[in-house]
Every structure is written in C-alpha cells, then in structure tokens.
Chain A
C-alpha cells in the first residue's frame, strides 16, 4: 500500500476514534468510552503480535504473557503503595522486554509447531506463576489499589483523559511500527519470513533480527498490559491464559495479518461482536465461533484485505 494511502487510512481511523468521547457524551452513553478504550488497548497488543506474526512469520502463541506481566508491573507496586505511572509503565515495558528476550532466545531456535508449543508453554508457566502469587490474590487476582499517577493534567481517573492517553499511545505505536516495517530491519524480517535459508545464504543470520523484533513486540505487549490493568482496575492471572493469547491472535487474523491497520480493525470488531452477541444470549460464543470460521474461510486476507479489495501487502 502506498505511504500516502496508509497515512489517510490512519488519519481517518484516528479521527473517528478521537470523536468517540464527544459523541458518547452527547448521547449520554459513557459506556462507549470504556468499550473503545478497551478495544484500543487490545489493538496495541494485537498490532504488537502482528509485528512478529504477520511480518516475521513467528507464530507466537504466548503473547498474553506480556499483558499479564504489564498488568502485574502496575498492580504489584500499587499494592505496595507505589503509584507513580512513569515507574510502573517503565517496569511493565522492561520486564516484558526481558521476558521476551529469554523466551525468544530459546524459542527462536525452533520453528513451526515447536515454536508455537514453546511460546505457549512459556506463557502457561507465567500463568501458573501468577496463580501461585498468594500475596497478590493467587488465582482470584486482586483489585488495582489505584490507577497509575502521572501528575498534572494526566489523570487516568478521568475517563476522557485516560481515553486520549490510550489513543495517543496507539497512534504513536502505529506510526513507529510503520517506520519499523519499512526500515532495513523490517525488510530483513520480512525477507526471513518468506525465505529464511535464502536470507542466510546471502549473508544474513536472521536470528538476531527476529529476536529484536520479538523483544519489541513483547515490550509493546507489556505496555498494553499496563493499560489493561488501569482499564479494568483489576488484575488476574487470566490475563495470561492461553485462551487470551488465542484471542489476540484471532484479532490479528480477523483484521489482516501483515498489515498495521488490520489488527486494529480485528480488535475493534472482535470486541464489538463479543459485546453485541453477549447482550443477545448467554451462549454468544456459539454464534461467534462460526462467524470466525467463515471469515477465515472466505476472507483469508482478513477484514482489512476485504476493505481494500486487494491482497494485503505481506499476507
């Protein structure tokens, strides 16, 4: 897709998202601020997964681990009375990056099914670690003592402010992500995805590049986790459960792998469907399941590919 075209799509999408709070205020439906904020948080997680999944061909089935790490990096300090947001969110990013470094250094030596299983196993290990943290609620989780504090006008307890903080992070991440995939680094990642032996035969050992991408994706996932803890004001090991990893992966596939806008659309649509369907019936997953199967069968390029009417760039 041409750069200009993408800027337009990004601009329009950003504008629409920016309009959500005023419209919600006008229609007196504050619930939508909450819902769209949640969507954007998952969009950040989905885009970060797509950096390695869609562009790098690394099918990581443990991405929810970072959501959990990020959430606990906010929750645990808050529990001990440390509510400085800069500190908490930095901790979320650094802890996720380190976890991704270890997880990637081991799992990237494998490929295919083994890679999927190792990333899944790592995430489940962290999930059970979360359950074993009795001080912090064990498998029941715990309430977030207080939302992250940043001082000044940035007060996350005000729904609108929190909303625009999340929107700003999402837009910034999309812009940086766009730069990254267009960069030489991104080219090597994409080249390795399509033909790793060839990339090696031409003088590149893709391992370090892939590991770097893995760490970048993990850090962003951790930031999404920090946001999620503030969103729900509650944290539980469930954030790291493998079904959550599957959900994030589905957002990517639903929206369109190998694109940056796709996962955002995927996150919005999936959460919207969940919301609408669960209002209709308690057994909403019976409807959601077949819908998802249809999308995979008939829109292999995802919803974004369907919208564009052309093949997505790297799918």
Chain B
C-alpha cells in the first residue's frame, strides 16, 4: 500500500534522513520506533508532503506521491494525526469533525460523527465545546476522530499518547485496536514498545536517519539487545 524507498530529507543544509525505506501493507499495523531526534517525525512529514525529500521515492498504491503538496497527499488517502494534535481551537468539537470530512476513496461505510462519538464517548459529551477548551486527552481523541472523518486508507499517528495520563493512553490504544480490527491500515509512532509489540504487525527502528532494524513483533520481543541499544528500554 505505502512504499517508501530510500528517501533523503534535509532541512536547509542539515540532512535528517539518509535513505529511509519502509512498507505498510493493506490492513497492516506498522510502527516507526527510535529515540528522539532520529528522524521519525521527519519521515512522516516527508510522506505527507510537508517536508520534501530530495532523493528517493514514496508510492501509495503504486502511485508516486513524493513532490505532491500536502493536500494532494491527504486527498490520495493518507490521514495524519500530527504530533501535538493541532485541533482547530476556534471550532467546536462537532465542527472540527465536520469541517474537513471527506470520503474521497468512496468508502461504502464512511465515518460519520456518530460512529466517532461511539468510539470516543467523551467527545460526544463535549460536542459543543470549542476545540481549544478540551483536555489534552480529549484533543487527541478529537484529532484522531478528525483524521478518521477524512476516511483515510492509511492512518498515521505521530506520538498519539505522548504526555497523556495512563488511563487516557489505554483509551487511545483501545481505539487503535478497534480500528485495526476494522481493517484500518495504520502507521504508528510511539515509545510504548510493550503495547506496540502487542498491537502491531511489523516494526522499523530509526537511528540517525537510517533504518537500522526491522522485523515482526515476535522478532522484536525476542531481541532485548535491539530494544536496549536503539530504544533505551
């Protein structure tokens, strides 16, 4: 579904990615792991067209998407829940969901507001509150809901549980598992290796802008040395 092939991305003169390759298959849940500053978010920004790789290719369903502006990439079927959430603070919860909703792939059973509220009952209670007035956890739920409302074929979550209370994190993971059960393809960036090896199918570890290890959840669980060396756990 998504194939990233040896992309190199730089901000001005400082190169961040040195030939990153990864693949996400339909219905798969794949993670991107690594310590801070290793290039995880830059990889996501490159995929979404926010940062433009200067070498390498990115294909989505065989179609080259590198070099497209972000809204084109999004229209192609990629949905990003960005680091820091970035909900629209001056729109209500319901408006945040509806404003950018779309069903470009023509899904027979598209996401609507009610299913999102079913997924996150907390949001339903705050439907008329402004996005800026929500707690961090609620904003994260709203950001995920907003991305789902664009009916993305691949959903990317960048640090979706960062800075959230354990109970709220559990709530987010529960939702991710439900999405996976529903056949949603996912690319996850997170630090919670324990949970990720339970949920995800495959993992990629980034170190200084390069993929240094990749494998299945079983592989990763078995390799305490890898976890220790690259993830510091």
Report A's interface with B, CB cutoff 8 A.
184, 187-188, 190-191, 193-195, 197-205, 258, 313-314
Contacts and interface: CB of A to CB of B under 8 A. Distances in A.
Contacts of A314: 90
A202 B156 CA distance: 12
Interface string B2-14: 0000000000000
Contact of B91 (A191, A202, A203, A205): A191
Nearest to B76: A203
B84 to A, nearest CB: 10
A78 to B, nearest CB: 43
A203 B98 contact: no
Interface string B100-142: 1010100000000000000000000000001000000000000
B95 A187 contact: yes
Given A184-B98, A191-B88, A203-B71, 6 more contacts: A191-B99, A194-B91, A197-B70, A201-B48, A201-B74, A202-B80
B75 interface: yes
Nearest to B50: A201
B183 interface: no
B27 to A, nearest CB: 22
Contact of B88 (A195, A201, A203): A195
Smallest CB-CB A-B distances: 9 pairs: A203-B74, A187-B99, A191-B88, A202-B100, A205-B71, A201-B70, A200-B71, A314-B90, A198-B86
B69 A202 contact: no
A193 B50 contact: no
Interface in B76-92: 79-80, 82, 86, 88-91
B31 interface: no
B69 A200 contact: yes
B98 A187 contact: yes
B104 A203 contact: yes
Contacts of B100: 188, 191, 199, 202-204
Contacts of B79: 202
B146 interface: yes
Contact of B86 (A195, A203, A205, A258): A195
Contacts of B172: none
A203 B49 CA distance: 11
B150 interface: yes
B206 interface: no
Contacts of A190: 88, 90-91, 95, 99
Contact of B89 (A187, A194, A258): A194
Nearest to B45: A201
A190 B104 CA distance: 22
A258 to B, nearest CB: 8
Contacts of B96: 191
15 contacts: A190-B88, A191-B100, A193-B90, A195-B88, A197-B50, A199-B100, A201-B48, A201-B80, A202-B71, A202-B80, A203-B71, A203-B104, A204-B71, A204-B100, A313-B90
Contacts of A203: 71, 74-75, 100, 102, 104, 150
A50 B46 CA distance: 37
B147 interface: yes
